[in-house]
């Protein structure tokens, strides 16, 4: 319960203490409320907001092309060939419509439903937000045979709207060009990420079939001539799914494409099954990537599970006495894209990660159910292959459940004991502890002797673990090394993985510096990516970097972690010793080191080098693992041949 303040203290809090921020001052005061933050994501959000306006024009049928250019000096220039922002006087504000849009929150053509049926953007506040957070901004509008331009700084106009005639060849030209410089007073660093931007623009082009998006960045001059891309996908999201499955063996040649208009909502979906074991489904609402899903994704999944079960029972592919396929069974090996475009989207949170409109679930469920039922009936061979895969998935999932239960029961019968070959640490606080996954029994034994027993645990791994990219979960759970690793970490697998139960907050992969060591490291990374992904996204996974060479006499030896570093050490030592040969020892295996050397180079936190495993683009990571570790040989061979000359430090 709050205690009552003394009158003199209470009197200190009056109406004068309530601050009223006018215009766009609130945006500059709290930019994170509008763009999510002032780091790289927030910086890129400014570009997306202006590009979204061009995409809105395309969705309204008034635009064919959006061009983005980051100039060498960091100015961002976005142009579209839409109708151009209106320039006449706004009846409510008394100033031009273009100035109203650029300086007033919640001013735009996205609210009345007349100019735009659907739209992306931050609920119509995009242009004014960008203006508020830019040190300078210039807008150019081409319409009615004239070019109109106006300039702003930090949300306030610095010039009046100026109109100029255009030459006779440009009189039919229409559109908007916005050039801006993100304010260095707001953004800690101006660092445009070419890969992140191209990914977003490519995504937009897939979701709007027929829209051309050009992106050029002179800021990234080091990437020339690869700093310019053009995206135009006439196949839309169906082509998106085909491209996602490019390196996978598919069960049916073409994606199943669904398109429907229900009560003003446009529903699009494309799906295709492959022989992989991973589900990859992406959902969008008004071209916004809803990474946390929402009602549209729920409707899609519900329809998929129900229709497949209904068809399978109708065709007697599932016996009356057998249970239905679960949602997980029907989504194994599924690649799909769901896109809805609606008038009044309700997003949870300003960053639009989850769609909340309750009516969308039924609309998507109806559209997908009707179209998928027709497809299965018209394509019985494809339907049989899909359902056969679902049934195999069901059996494997049940076998995996039994294997997981067996592991849990065995653990309980053993008193919750850890794997016998695990040398655990004495500290039980996970924040202080780390687990080394060491290649081979010999190196494991050396590491056990060289470690600090208080907080370092060692788990030796025998040989190469299973390639989980080619194996279902039931087979994976029968693999001795994977079981030992899972039990030692204590956090479970897959959807049941729980970071809160992780026994060590640093999991460190330590393998030999040769081809076999690199292969074992890749197999482990594949396992963690597929079945313990939060370990990567939360920053708990590391790779130890043991030295390649020891240079110099025993009492004065130095360690080299690369050929370049070795050459530098040899050159330095040669300057001091003109005649005597410099001793150089190449380490290929961790077992070649003594316990003291292993501590000094790879275990001692004061001297060791650890590489933290990070996940940038999850989609790109998925495609890379599928390419390099999957079943198809030809794409992998093509990749190796095209990148063969880029290989360095090849050890065969």
Active site residues: 439, 512, 514, 516
Which pair of tokens denotes residue 276?
Answer: 């992989």
Omega of the bond leading into 225 within 30 degrees of 0 (cis): yes
3-class DSSP state for residue 454? coil
- The backbone region for 471, taken as left when phi is positive above 0, alpha when psi lies in -120 to 50, beta otherwise, is beta
List CB contacts of 180: < 8 A, sequence separation 6 or more.
Answer: 46, 50, 75, 76, 130, 131, 134, 136, 137, 138
- C-beta separation of 436 from 459 below 8 A: yes
Helix (H) or strand (E) holding 216: strand 212-217
- C-beta separation of 232 from 83 below 8 A: no
Kindly report the number of other CB atoms within 10 A of residue 67's CB atom.
19
Tokens 């053509």, residue located: 109
Alpha-carbon distances of 402 from 71, 324, 410, 474, 477, rounded to whole Å = 59, 18, 12, 9, 10
As a whole number of angstroms, the distance between CA 622 and CA 100 comes to 44
As a whole number of angstroms, the distance between CA 511 and CA 587 comes to 12
- C-beta separation of 152 from 135 below 8 A: no
- C-beta separation of 433 from 504 below 8 A: yes
3-class DSSP state for residue 134? strand
As a whole number of angstroms, the distance between CA 284 and CA 292 comes to 10
- C-beta separation of 192 from 43 below 8 A: yes
List CB contacts of 342: < 8 A, sequence separation 6 or more.
Answer: 118, 264, 265, 266, 285, 286, 357, 360
As a whole number of angstroms, the distance between CA 281 and CA 304 comes to 12
C-alpha 294 chain-centroid distance: 18
Helix (H) or strand (E) holding 475: helix 473-476
Which pair of tokens denotes residue 3?
Answer: 């205690």
- C-beta separation of 274 from 250 below 8 A: yes
3-class DSSP state for residue 256? strand
Of the candidates 636, 442, 644, 400, the one whose C-alpha atom is nearest the C-alpha of residue 522 is: 636
Alpha-carbon distances of 367 from 261, 358, 453, 578, rounded to whole Å = 8, 15, 60, 81
As a whole number of angstroms, the distance between CA 492 and CA 488 comes to 10
Of the candidates 205, 233, 265, the one whose C-alpha atom is nearest the C-alpha of residue 51 is: 205
Q: Residue 617: CA atoms inside 13 Å, Cβ hemisphere, count? A: 14
- C-beta separation of 488 from 430 below 8 A: no
Which pair of tokens denotes residue 148?
Answer: 């109109």
């Amino acid at each position: 319960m709050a205690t009552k303040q003394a009158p003199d203290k209470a009197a200190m809090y009056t109406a004068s203490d309530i601050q009223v921020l006018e215009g766009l001052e609130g945006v500059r005061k709290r930019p994170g409320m509008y763009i999510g933050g002032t780091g790289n994501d927030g910086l890129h959000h400014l570009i997306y907001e202006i590009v979204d306006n061009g995409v809105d024009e395309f969705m309204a049928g008034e635009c064919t092309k959006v061009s983005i250019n980051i100039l060498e000096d960091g100015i961002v220039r976005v142009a579209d060939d839409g109708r151009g922002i209106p320039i006449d006087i706004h009846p409510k504000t008394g100033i031009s419509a273009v100035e109203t849009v650029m300086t007033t929150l919640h001013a735009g053509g996205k609210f009345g439903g007349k100019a735009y049926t659907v739209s992306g953007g931050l609920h119509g506040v995009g242009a004014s937000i960008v203006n508020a957070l830019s040190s300078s901004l210039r807008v150019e509008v081409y319409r009615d045979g004239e070019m109109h331009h106006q300039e702003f700084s930090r949300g306030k106009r610095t010039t009046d709207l100026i109109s100029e005639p255009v030459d006779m060849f440009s009189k039919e030209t229409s559109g908007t060009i916005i050039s801006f410089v993100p304010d260095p007073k707001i953004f800690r660093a101006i660092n445009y990420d070419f890969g992140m931007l191209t990914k977003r623009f490519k995504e937009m082009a897939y979701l709007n079939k027929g829209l051309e998006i050009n992106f050029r960045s002179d800021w990234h001059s080091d990437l020339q001539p690869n700093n310019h891309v053009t995206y135009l996908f006439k196949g839309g999201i169906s082509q998106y799914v085909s491209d996602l499955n490019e390196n996978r063996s598919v069960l049916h040649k073409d994606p199943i494409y669904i398109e429907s208009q229900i009560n003003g909502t446009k529903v699009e979906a494309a799906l295709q099954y492959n022989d992989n074991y991973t589900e990859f489904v992406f959902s969008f609402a008004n071209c916004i990537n809803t990474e946390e899903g929402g009602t549209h994704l729920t409707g899609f999944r519900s329809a998929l599970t129900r229709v497949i079960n209904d068809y399978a029972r109708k065709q007697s592919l599932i016996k009356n006495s057998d249970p239905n396929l679960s949602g997980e069974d029907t989504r194994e090996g599924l690649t799909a894209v769901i896109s809805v475009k609606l008038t009044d989207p309700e997003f949870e949170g300003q960053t639009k990660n989850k769609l909340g409109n309750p009516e969308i679930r039924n609309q998507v469920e109806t559209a997908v159910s009707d179209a998928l039922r027709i497809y299965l009936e018209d394509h019985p061979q494809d339907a049989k292959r899909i359902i056969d895969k679902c049934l195999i998935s069901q059996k494997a999932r049940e076998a995996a459940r039994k294997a997981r239960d067996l592991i849990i029961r065995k653990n309980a019968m053993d008193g919750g004991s850890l794997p016998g070959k695990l040398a655990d640490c004495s500290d039980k606080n996970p924040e202080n502890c780390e687990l080394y996954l060491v290649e081979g029994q010999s190196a494991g034994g050396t590491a056990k002797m060289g470690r600090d027993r208080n907080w370092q645990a060692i788990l030796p791994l025998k040989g190469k673990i299973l390639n989980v990219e080619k194996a279902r979960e039931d087979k994976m759970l029968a693999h001795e090394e994977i079981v030992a690793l899972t039990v030692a970490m204590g956090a479970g697998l897959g959807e049941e993985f729980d970071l809160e139960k992780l026994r060590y907050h640093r999991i460190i992969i330590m393998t030999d510096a040769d081809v076999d060591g690199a292969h074992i490291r890749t197999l482990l990374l594949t396992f963690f990516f597929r079945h313990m992904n939060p370990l990567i996204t939360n920053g708990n996974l590391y790779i130890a970097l043991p030295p390649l060479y020891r240079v110099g006499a025993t009492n004065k030896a130095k360690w080299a972690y690369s050929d370049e570093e070795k050459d530098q050490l040899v050159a330095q030592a040669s300057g001091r010793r003109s005649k005597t040969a410099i001793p150089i020892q190449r380490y290929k295996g961790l077992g070649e080191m003594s316990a003291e050397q292993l501590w000094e180079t790879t275990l001692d936190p004061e001297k060791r080098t650890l590489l933290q495993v990070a996940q940038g683009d999850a989609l790109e990571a998925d495609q890379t693992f599928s390419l390099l570790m999957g079943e198809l040989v030809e794409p992998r061979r093509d990749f190796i041949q095209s990148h063969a000359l880029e290989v360095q430090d090849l050890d065969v």
